[in-house]
Amino acid sequence: MEVETTDFLIIGSGVAGLRAAIELAPHGSVLVATKDMPKESSTEYAQGGIAVALSDEDKVGIHFEDTLKAGDGLCNEDAVKILVGEGPERILELISWGAAFDKEGTKLDFAIEGAHSRKRVLHAKGDSTGKELERVLLNKVRSYTSVKKYPFAFTVDLIIKDGECCGAYILKDRKMTAIIAKATILCTGGAGQIFARTTNPMVATGDGMAIAFRAGAQLEDMEFIQFHPTSLYSQYAPQFLLSEAMRGEGAILRSINKEPFMKNYHRDAELAPRDIVSRAIISEMVRTESSHVYLDMTHLGKDFVRKRFPQIYSTCLQYNVEITNDLIPVSPAAHYIMGGVKTDINGITSIKRLYAAGETACTGVHGANRLASNSLLEGLVYGARTGSAAYQSSSGIKNLTAVKEQVSEHAAAYHSIPEHDEIRMTLRKLMWDRVGIIRCGESLKEAREKLSEWAFILDKVFYTRRELELKNMLTVAMMITEAASLRKGSVGAHYRSDYREKGPDWQKHIALFREDDRIKYSPA
């Protein structure tokens, strides 16, 4: 096996990974490993925008309050204070690096989305905010010769020696390579692909969470999955996200019979918190025995809609939906995981020299439900903080040679499962049907039983991306199902039809970890 060394290894190249790389670049060699092309991340597809308290009508304290309210009592307040407090500086820095956010005249234009009490969502080229962030951050990263990128490099497992993370085994050019590093940062994004309906790109298979779990790290809040109310619903189209900003600009949800319904569910109607809108849509679908509802923009000006949402306009047009004329068929889809690898406010995990940032991590900043457009900001703020912490705590580590000599072959023999794609499809459907928007003891039990039938996959060592992803998806699906079974109550985005109230011990956080090859949890 080839062995390479770097000072800092970053796994993932979305906003958190790139921002961490920029922080680390002046301090040593940085390797950014990513399983696809560097820009292929959830960041690239983020539409609506990035929330930040920078408008004349807003204050950091109001952004703080809105975030806590959305988090339904489970946010880590220190983490939220840092997010909203450091957010403005991170955004101004990004603008100084060339980010072109949309303006109204000479001033930045702020949009509103669900559960925000002020207009505070910056956007770029209408609905291509993530693309702009990725462009600027990748350009900035390119300006440092100390940063090297490995595209199409799949991180198989972490290298753990004496309880410390010393790097990772990476499959690249069909060869296993051990990358030895002083600090390793997981920034692999979310796990939406675990569900049959998702707004997430194909790369979002929970890899960072699964490899951290296998290495013995703690994960927390895994039961909290946010379902976005509106993704395009068509047999012939991909599950394309229809940004919440559309409802922010006045789009209306209508049942299959074309009746508006959100006022019957919440006083904020279309701008109610996402979990409420998603469940309202499901109720309407059940009531009218339909597979979708409609999003209606036809009353908004044609020119305005085309200018404000150019990407959404042209994508829908490809599937014969002209959004200024036609009602858009939509249904909810898995969008974001609030839980992840447990970290402190500096990205430090329960394993020494292992860090995590962005959607892979769980600082507790989103509590039980994330406020819309807070995740790109999280990537910037916590990517930078994690990079800085990784540098500071690695400055004493000089000699990587000792570890280099100890690294043995990752596996003597590789396995293959011919039916892996069938299992992947069945798993995604199972998670959507049984561990989706509305859960109950019975559905969770069924899911646990079915998932355990595939437990044989967890012991196998694979050599292809699809099989490696399946193993990670199964690991994360098991953790989500376990945590959802343990939380006997409904909080934030976790809703159980058999426990509709929060329940007596709702303020607990469920931490999961591996012991004797089983999922253990605390509080026990």
Per CB under 6 A, which region of 158-166, 372-380, 469-477, 492-500 contacts ligand SIN?
A: 372-380
Residue with Cβ nearer ligand SIN (47 or 76): 47
**Are 77 and 83 within 8 A, CB to CB?**
no
Nearest residue to ligand SIN, scored by beta-carbon proximity: 48
Per CB under 6 A, which region of 87-95, 187-195, 209-217, 367-375 contacts ligand SIN?
A: 367-375
Handedness of CA 279, 281, 283, 286 (dihedral sign): negative
Residues recognised as catalytic: 274
Handedness of CA 370, 374, 376, 379 (dihedral sign): negative
| Least distance CB 34 / ligand SIN (angstroms) | 22
**Are 316 and 328 within 8 A, CB to CB?**
yes
| Least distance CB 372 / ligand SIN (angstroms) | 4
Please name which of 109, 173, 178, 189 lies closest in space to residue 358, comparing C-alpha atoms. Answer: 189
Residue with Cβ nearer ligand SIN (30 or 337): 337
| Least distance CB 63 / ligand SIN (angstroms) | 14
Please name which of 237, 204, 230 lies closest in space to residue 45, comparing C-alpha atoms. Answer: 204
Look up residue 251 and give its DSSP letter.
-
Per CB under 6 A, which region of 311-319, 358-366, 369-377, 388-396 contacts ligand SIN?
A: 369-377
Residue 403 is inside which H or E element, if any? Answer: helix 401-406
Residue with Cβ nearer ligand SIN (262 or 372): 372
Residue 305 is inside which H or E element, if any? Answer: helix 302-308
Please name which of 482, 212, 224 lies closest in space to residue 350, comparing C-alpha atoms. Answer: 212
Interaction pattern, residues 320-349, with ligand SIN; x per rule: CB under 6 A: ---------------x--------------
**Are 159 and 403 within 8 A, CB to CB?**
yes
> Interface with ligand SIN includes 48 (CB under 6 A)?
yes
Residue with Cβ nearer ligand SIN (171 or 246): 246
**Are 487 and 222 within 8 A, CB to CB?**
no
Residue 226, helix vs strand vs coil: strand
**Are 76 and 363 within 8 A, CB to CB?**
yes
Report how far residue 245's alpha carbon sits from residue 233's, in angstroms, rounded to the nearest whole number: 18
Q: Count how many residues are written for the chain.
A: 524
> Interface with ligand SIN includes 367 (CB under 6 A)?
no
> Interface with ligand SIN includes 372 (CB under 6 A)?
yes
Query: Using CB under 6 A, which of 41, 188, 343, 375 touches ligand SIN?
Result: 375
Residue with Cβ nearer ligand SIN (298 or 311): 311
Interaction pattern, residues 233-252, with ligand SIN; x per rule: CB under 6 A: ----------xxx-------
| Least distance CB 450 / ligand SIN (angstroms) | 29
Residue with Cβ nearer ligand SIN (334 or 474): 334
> Interface with ligand SIN includes 380 (CB under 6 A)?
no
| Least distance CB 519 / ligand SIN (angstroms) | 28
Report how far residue 498's alpha carbon sits from residue 508's, in angstroms, rounded to the nearest whole number: 19
Number of residues that bind ligand SIN (CB under 6 A): 9
Report how far residue 221's alpha carbon sits from residue 443's, in angstroms, rounded to the nearest whole number: 19
Query: Using CB under 6 A, which of 41, 43, 47, 394 touches ligand SIN?
Result: 47
Report how far residue 380's alpha carbon sits from residue 386's, in angstroms, rounded to the nearest whole number: 10
Residue with Cβ nearer ligand SIN (116 or 424): 116
| Least distance CB 123 / ligand SIN (angstroms) | 9
Please name which of 477, 519, 514, 181 lies closest in space to residue 350, comparing C-alpha atoms. Answer: 514
Query: Using CB under 6 A, which of 373, 386, 443, 472 touches ligand SIN?
Result: 373
Residue type, 347: G
Binding site for ligand SIN (CB under 6 A): 47-48, 243-245, 335, 372-373, 375
